[in-house]
Structure 1
């Protein structure tokens, strides 16, 4: 007689549950008990679900999943319901794993009292709420320490552990990486071979949970380990595997001062928490590994010493994006040159990945080498561009370019030779806080054209003035474009303390992204849109301050770059940003544009603009000098209505408070002055 016939004779049916395919196979008796038509057959699990009370099916599914993970037998009571929802009969089922399948029996019970029935709705809701909250808290933990802290605060519904420990598999050993609830009195538990006769070691070896509901059960099953744990005063223990991608990575111990029977529902909660804990520890470990790699890359590629320039104060920051490896292509460097001068470099390689970081490191080394050979700033960038273009030929599938700004500094005179390869322009904060974005000549980004030329712009940093060099992450983050981003930065630069560049650097980063780490290469807590690199340079930080506020700008406009006239107008507007009369500001802009244009049109040389504001607000004076190398003096003309030129001196007489043309030994200087006055209509 077959087993099926024997079971049918006593009213029991057979069924097999395949979780992989989501199917249930039943014999004739099981089909009758479940109310399935067609006799022995294979059905979708949804068809079986329709025959059972919804709450019972949920409990049965949890018991089956738990049995599959533990390799134990699942036992549950389920109610069979009709089409109208009425209960037809109650069945007891036992299911045991057999390879990929879970095989079991079904038989009808007639007792009104359903012993071992599924938990009440209230308890189930409390369990689901607890698991949701635990999952959220563990998902937000981003370090091993934080994961262990969250695990220590978990309050399970009805049976919270009093102590816990987490073990990690490292080769053929098991190490305790964290614990809560007691001090470990025996170092044996901190590190042990996997072969040790200890529950956590057994769990790590087999991947199966161990439940010890009583001290007697512990002492009987693990007599060698019992003396080590007896002193802690617990009465029930659960050891569960931590599994990630099918691999057991460690074990979790939950110890209880109150007896726990470890019912299927309680084991289900513990198993679910162990799964979440294993995943959280894996994510935290990966995050910490990435952070360690990031820190290593940053330490390798950024300057190894604090930036310094003789006679000047320097502060620098590098802030990564905060996403992924938290490393990208932004960098800065301070280079001592053979001439005794110092170079400051800031740049940005296209991209935010390991490739960008690698190219950044190569560029930094190449640029330092060319600078150390004593080349001029333009030659340094030309050679670096050729070097990057050569790397692009070797990696045709991933061609990158880089922007760069190179400044050679003469600390004695404050002279700055600026060369720019597609990089954002520098800005200067004057002694009274006024900020000017210095328009400088620009070449192509590095790596685009191997034989590019890079024009040099010379300017002077006066005592007390602050030079800002930065990457576009400081300017364009937060939906800003280049114009609005510079406006925001100018306000932050003017508001910060110029006498403390470290505080000023932090305030600039904070103005864009919020609080920053004081460590120039430390990652910020929140995610960034783009990397940030910035360098601040102040001349003569300990020198005497001027009793009368002075604002000054110097700019050279060459014959082959008349577009710099716009830069002259922008600088004048920046100098007069708080001038009382808007009409006088526009007059000054018009006069500067006219005088500089006359030099370019009527001479063969360059125009050198020097504009200076002195005095206290309300009584200030603007003095503008435009020098050229020609000895020809301007003459007053009477242009007709349709004339396109000849009005320069007439405008001087009409708009300037004072003006003149002074001969110099090597040319002449055309100058004018405006004296601040209240706007028309003001009292």
Structure 2
């Protein structure tokens, strides 16, 4: 072109360079293209206007979606954007690849984008360079897979530390930072939440930094806009005051991105690189997407941690301390909340001082009560009801009521709360009007004599570990769970905890967790109780660890996330003669004893009696003698129920050393008629009890008492 000639139009210049021009207005949904752009898109004619749908049909759908996201990104950052797009023909085949450069303008008033850009055909790189070129199809596929994996990992992170660990392990396709930092905001100060790729203490200068500081992360928090620094020179020129803080790390490029959740900038994320990075639109798009996912993950984790802290504090505030040591007794307890949701539920335990000795115990000692229970549900309402029920039980117990009266009053109280909830008056503070019930076991303890008086409301029976390590479930009389029937009765069971014995009471979460039912779960706990050597505290830990692994006292820890139900467990121990609560606390005289009452209207308890005897003889050397003992006990109890109007009381006791032990089983009743041996006919349905005693027992007898009688037998172990 000679001097003085007029300059050609911009369109002519671009056309001569095989570069087209296009304009897109999202308000009208129309795309205007010039002749060169039409040629590149495979469309006939010159300058024309297309609908958005017709223009979109000429591009690969993945590329079109990427183009729209980069438009938003470039508009937010106020930068020039660049993207590569694949052109498709009518048959869906890729015919060429073009590069588009554009600068979008966002009209905040009308909420529309106006975009003007250029289009130019480019040659695809050779396959061997795909990994190093962040604008190829291969890189695009790698990036999509990376973002899916990163999003999944961040979504699964449950705590801030997990989120930071996932962020530190991210390996971005084509470019990976070797230094990361997550900044938070407290008031008008910048804080460091976590970092990776730095030495401990490196974060000190950046902690508690005023937001007005001329530092990239502070600017990002103030403005909500990302800052990209491609070289140390660029960093130094833009932030000369804080450049010395970053200089000694030896990095070459930095990206500072806002962490925005729910429209609020909650902090900043720094990705630092040991090599120069140009921060192309594709690279910025990846970083921006990761920053958004990271912000959401941190927001979720922070909310979950606050919720866990709140609910754990609520649960802890409702649980008691076990108080001062009780002379002659030892007590240990554990509570572990459920892992799902709010980590708060309805399990609880309590230790209640009772009024002084009464005629029932005749000991004059300082009696106390142990309570363990489980309100239905694992939510705030369950926890609220648990708190109310615990207070009510304490009040009724402190008034001096017997165990049966305490549970009867507690059941009426909970029934009234449920009735109020059904009529719109929910005293628990929840919005769930469904009635809730609660299981409970109440034990009144006389520490001097070891006498226990137990009332049970739908709760699992206690287990007794005897002095020689034998463990048995101790059947007790019981009634309906609390809150179901306001007039329900709760019969009591009375027995003595012998020296060297330990009683375990727990909620069903300890028994049934891990896919176990009551039977298989009990066998698992029984093995722990039998094998353990040590004091009550270590035994309590062993029971919890057997179910869920290591855990600390009243601390959910990471294992709480795997819990299916709350766990509460209480241990009551009575030391043997001369024993303290050290490693030999559970060792005592080789005596095993069980006591069981069978009422006239409870014939089903005869089966429990047989189980109790088999439990006493679990390590007996002769299985035949075990069967004999169960049979004779069944015959003695049946004889009382059939031939008298009285209730029966079974006392079975094993004494002696292994191989030379003696079983003595005795059934007493208040009836006056003594049993007589008969000669039953072949078809007779009764009369064989004493015959069997004479044939099978090593010794037996019938003894009159001052009131009633007793029948007994003995078996001697065959070594």
After superposition, where does 1:636-655 map in structure 2 within 5 Å? 636-655=677-696
Aligned match of 1:427:
463
Tell me the residue number matched to 1:63. 70
Change (3 A) 1:31 1:425: farther
Is residue 257–residue 268 contact of structure 2 (8 Å, CA) maintained in 1?
yes
Aligned to 2:264: 247
Instruction: Kindly state the Cα deviation for residue 548 of structure 1 after the two structures are TM-superposed.
Output: 6.3
Q: Which moved more, 1:414-423 or 1:457-466?
A: 457-466
**Structure 1 residue 426: deviation in Å?**
0.9
Note if 1:412 corresponds to 2:436.
no
Instruction: Identify the residue that residue 87 of structure 2 maps to in structure 1.
Output: 80
Q: Is the 8 A contact 1:138 1:276 kept in 2?
A: yes
CA 1:71–1:446: 2 relative to 1, 3 Å = farther
Q: Secondary structure at the match of 1:51?
A: coil
What secondary structure sits across from 1:238 in the alignment?
strand
State the partner residue of 1:94.
102
Matched, 1:535 2:570: yes
Question: In the alignment, does 2:49 pair up with 1:40?
Answer: yes
CA distance in 2, matches of 1:548, 1:110: 95
Distance 1:286 1:156 in 2: 28
**Structure 2 matches for 1:321-336, cutoff 5 A?**
321-336=338-353
In 1, the alpha carbon distance for the partners of 2:177 and 2:133 equals 25
C-alpha deviation, 1:496, in angstroms? 2.1
Q: For the residues of structure 2 that align with 1:546 and 1:631, how far apart are their CA atoms? A: 41
**How far apart, CA to CA, are the structure 2 residues paired with 1:37 and 1:669?**
113
2:234 matches 1:198: no
Three-state SS of the structure 1 residue aligned to 2:309 is helix
Deviation for aligned residue 1:409: 0.9
The residue aligned with 1:143 is 159
Contact 2:453/2:494, CA 8 A, preserved across alignment: yes
How far apart, CA to CA, are the structure 1 residues paired with 2:434 and 2:503?
Answer: 35
Residue 53 of structure 1 and its aligned partner are, at CA, apart by: 5.5
Using the TM superposition, name which of 625-634 and 376-385 deviates more.
625-634
User: Which residue number corresponds to residue 460 of structure 1?
Assistant: 496
Shift in alpha-carbon separation, 1:185–1:658, aligned structure 2, 3 A: closer
1:104 aligns with 2:115: yes
CA distance in 2, matches of 1:485, 1:440: 19
Can you list the C-alpha shifts for 1:52-84, whole angstroms capped at 9, x where unaligned? 357865764563453255343322343434346
Q: Select which of 264, 273, 276 maps to 2:281.
A: 264
Partner residue in 2 for 1:681: none
Unaligned stretches of 5+ in structure 2? 1-8, 126-131, 357-365, 423-432, 580-585
Give me the whole-angstrom Cα distance separating, in 2, the residues matched to 1:677 and 1:522: 50
1:623, distance to aligned residue in structure 2 (A): 0.9
1:553 maps to which residue?
A: 594
Equivalent residue of 2:512, what SS?
Answer: coil
Deviations 1:511-561 (A, max 9, x none): 333x13132343452411111111112211563598862221111223343
Distance of aligned partners of 1:164 and 1:480 in 2 relative to their CA distance in 1, 3 Å threshold: closer
For 1:542 and 1:7, locate their aligned partners in 2 and report how far apart those are by CA, in whole Å.
106
- Provide closer, same or farther for how the CA distance between residues 346 and 117 of structure 1 changes in structure 2, counting only shifts above 3 A: closer
SS of residue matched to 1:636: coil
> Partners in 2 of 1:472 and 1:592 — Cα distance?
30
Residue 507 (structure 1) aligns with = 542
CA distance in 2, matches of 1:68, 1:611: 86
Deviations 1:141-197 (A, max 9, x none): 433234334434544455443444322234454333334526778977423454444
Q: State the match for 1:167 in structure 2.
A: 183
CA pair 357-435 structure 1, distance change in 2 beyond 3 A: same
Tell me which of 550, 566, 583 is aligned to 1:516. Answer: 550
Q: 1:281 aligns with which of 298, 306, 309?
A: 298
How far residue 459 of structure 1 moved from its aligned partner, in angstroms, is 1.2
In 1, distance between residues paired with 2:187 and 2:121? 54
With over 3 angstroms needed to count, the CA separation of the structure-2 counterparts of 1:523 and 1:217, relative to structure 1, is: closer
Q: Cα distance, 1:473 vs. partner?
A: 1.0
RMSD: 3.3
Task: List alignment gaps of at least 5 residues for structure 1.
Answer: 679-683
Taking a change above 3 Å as real, the CA distance of residues 72 and 102 of structure 1, as seen in their structure-2 partners, is farther
Distance 1:270 1:541 in 2: 68
Contact 2:322 2:331 in 1 (8 A): no
312, 321, 346: which one pairs with 2:329? 312
Superposed CA offset, 1:179-236 (max 9, x none): 4526778977423454444332332233211112234433443455445545655443
The alpha-carbon distance between structure 1 residues 446 and 635, as it changes in their structure 2 partners (threshold 3 A), is same
Provide the rounded CA distance (Å) in 1 between the counterparts of 2:25 and 2:593. 85
**2:415 corresponds to:** 389
Question: 1:302 and 2:307 equivalent?
Answer: no
Distance 1:34 1:383, change over 3 A: same
Contact 2:577–2:588 (8 Å) recurs in 1: no
SS of the aligned residue for 2:406 comes to helix
Offset from partner CA, 1:90-131 (integer Å, 9 cap, x none): 4534251424444334545367699x9962455445545554
Q: Which stretch shows the higher mean deviation, 97-106 or 423-432?
A: 97-106
- Alignment CA distance shift 1:228-1:486 (3 Å): closer
Match of 1:482 in 2: 518
> What is the deviation of 1:395?
1.2
Is the 1:516–1:524 Cα contact (8 Å) retained in structure 2? no
Contact 2:499–2:577 (CA<8 Å) still a contact in 1?
no
- Asked if structure 2 preserves the Cα contact closer than 8 Å seen for 1:328 and 1:531, the reply is yes
Q: Give the 3-state SS of the residue equivalent to 2:478 in structure 1.
A: coil
- Summarize the Cα distance change of 1:77–1:454 in structure 2 as closer, same or farther, 3 Å threshold: closer
> d(CA) in 2 for partners of 1:559 and 1:264?
86
- Would you say the 8 A contact 1:81–1:89 is kept in 2? no
State the Cα deviation string for residues 387-445 of structure 1 (Å, max 9, x = none): 11121122112311100000011111111101001111111122232222111111111
Give the whole-Å Cα distance in 1 for the aligned partners of 2:152 and 2:620. 56
SS at match of 2:666: strand
Inter-partner Cα distance in structure 1 for 2:470 and 2:203: 67
State how far apart, in whole Å, the 2-side matches of 1:297 and 1:86 are. Answer: 62
How far apart are the structure 2 equivalents of 1:590 and 1:183? Answer: 72
State the Cα distance separating 1:365 from its structure 2 match.
1.4
CA distance in 1, matches of 2:44, 2:687: 106
Residue number in structure 2 paired with 1:26? 31
Summarize the Cα distance change of 1:674–1:76 in structure 2 as closer, same or farther, 3 Å threshold: same
Between the aligned partners of 1:264 and 1:611, the Cα distance in structure 2 is 84
Mapping for residues 665-680 of structure 1, pairs under 5 Å = 665-677=706-718
2:379 corresponds in structure 1 to 353
Equivalent residue runs for 1:558-577 within 5 Å = 558-577=599-618
Shift of 1:580: 3.2
Q: CA deviation at 1:270?
A: 1.9
Q: CA deviation at 1:458?
A: 0.5
3-state DSSP class of the match of 1:418?
strand
Specify the alignment match of 1:660 in structure 2: 701
* TM-score normalised by length of structure 1: 0.88
1:472 deviates by 0.9
Residue 600 to residue 77, structure 1, CA distance change in 2 (3 Å): closer
Q: Per-residue CA shift, 1:455-501, capped at 9, x if unaligned?
A: 1001111111121101111122233322232233222322222x322
Q: Quick one: distance in 1 between partners of 2:122 and 2:514?
A: 68
